[in-house]
Amino acid sequence: MFSNLEQTFRWYGPNDPVTLKAIGQTGATGIVTALHHIPAGGVWSREEIEKRKHIIQAAGLRWSVVESVNVHESIKTASADRDQYTEKYIETLKNLAKCGIKVVCYNFMPVLDWTRTDIDYRLPNGASALRFHAPALAAFDLYILEREGASSEFSKDQQEKAKAYLDGINADEKKRLIHNVMAGLPGTKDVLTVDQFKGHLEKYKGIDAAQLKKNLTWFLQTVIPEAENLGVKLCIHPDDPPFPIFGLPRVISKEADLVEVGNACPSPSNGLTFCTGSLGARGDNDLPGMIDRLGAHIHFLHLRNVKREPDGSFYEDNHLEGSSDMYAIMKSVVREQKRRADSGRDDVAIPMRPDHGHKLLDDFNYDTFPGYSAIGRLKGLAELRGLEMGIKKTLYQ
């Protein structure tokens, strides 16, 4: 039997209340982390990388994947200083490669990384989940940000629902909404002010999806050949949510986008982070089929399930429940592993992490990063590894 997926857990570094010791007890063997204290655009020195690597190894774990080396906004907007930031990006990849860390996740989402309106959405059993509530986002856009042109992007009905939502929340809830939407990069506690955000949006005036794709293509064609020389596998993370928000273009939302990424610079170093939660927020993404067709390019898996609602909202469900068929997804993943094993590829043990988790039980006693509780993710990992084993034994033993 070919090997299992590599079970990994995201760890936000020494300040993460979920310790490496706790992670070891989940059964995960790999760590997914980044040097979150270095802002996008800064070079990760070899010393800093080694320091972090040693902490992980001392806990008996391995630094399997970097998530993420963030791409500077100047590269996404093709500003005059993009060359300088691209050189720094390559420098970081070189340093990572020297330290033996060779799978690197990144994304190409303008301004904000992932976006949720509610980070404490209570499910009937009392668990706390993350939610994207479309009327709340529209309310923020139309009536808090007061973005020019926003009203032409929402139907009359959507505008009415947004207004009703805003009228129905109190001052604290409104503050929380602003905080949730403006929260900065994962792993930081940074929160943009609405005015700062407006300033960022300015820079995207005149950048539509076609232009953003061009900028991504330039980045890939500049960086991928270097990564290939280093033996580093880059893997782009899809947009979350996988549709435009705040008038900003989104270019990694569906199968055709992922195909375009590959075609922009064919190379084993130009790969995908297949995030079933992000891609699964669109009903027209056929996740198992996408894995069947694009599996060879997947270097990293985020396994998570969302429950879609008719108005474009969604919340994060249990890993095996929700709108996506996790059994069919895992079956496609296992088939991809079999293809890799049969063709002698050395990356059969694709790193996977249980992406996000509910807050459950004792999780409420810790101030964890949104989505990154210990017990909720442990539950997800346990279910996913059982599913993997069941499918493997049924199909191949």
Are 191 and 182 within 8 A, CB to CB? yes
- Minimum separation from the CB atom of position 159 to ligand DNO (A): 29
Known active-site residue 319: no
Which of residues 185 and 382 has its CB atom nearest to ligand DNO in the complex? Answer: 185
- Minimum separation from the CB atom of position 34 to ligand DNO (A): 9
Known active-site residue 179: no
Known active-site residue 372: yes
Which of residues 107 and 285 has its CB atom nearest to ligand DNO in the complex? Answer: 107
Known active-site residue 299: no
Could you say which of 72, 133, 297, 356 is catalytic? Answer: 356
Which of residues 68 and 180 has its CB atom nearest to ligand DNO in the complex? Answer: 68
Are 154 and 162 within 8 A, CB to CB? yes
- Minimum separation from the CB atom of position 314 to ligand DNO (A): 14
Angstrom distance (rounded) from CA 53 to CA 33 = 10
Could you say which of 275, 297, 315, 363 is catalytic? Answer: 275
- Minimum separation from the CB atom of position 296 to ligand DNO (A): 21
Nearest to 237 by CA among 250, 227, 228, 248: 250
Which of residues 159 and 269 has its CB atom nearest to ligand DNO in the complex? Answer: 269
- Minimum separation from the CB atom of position 148 to ligand DNO (A): 27
- Minimum separation from the CB atom of position 356 to ligand DNO (A): 6
Q: How many residues does the chain have?
A: 397
Known active-site residue 237: yes
> What are the CA-CA distances from residue 320 to residues 19, 170, 230 (Å)?
25, 35, 37
Which of residues 213 and 356 has its CB atom nearest to ligand DNO in the complex? Answer: 356
What residue ranges bind ligand DNO (CB under 6 A)? 67-68, 105-107, 113-114, 186, 237, 275, 302, 355-356, 371
Which of residues 109 and 134 has its CB atom nearest to ligand DNO in the complex? Answer: 109
Could you say which of 237, 297, 299, 358 is catalytic? Answer: 237
Known active-site residue 356: yes
Residues assigned a catalytic role: 237, 275, 302, 355-356, 372
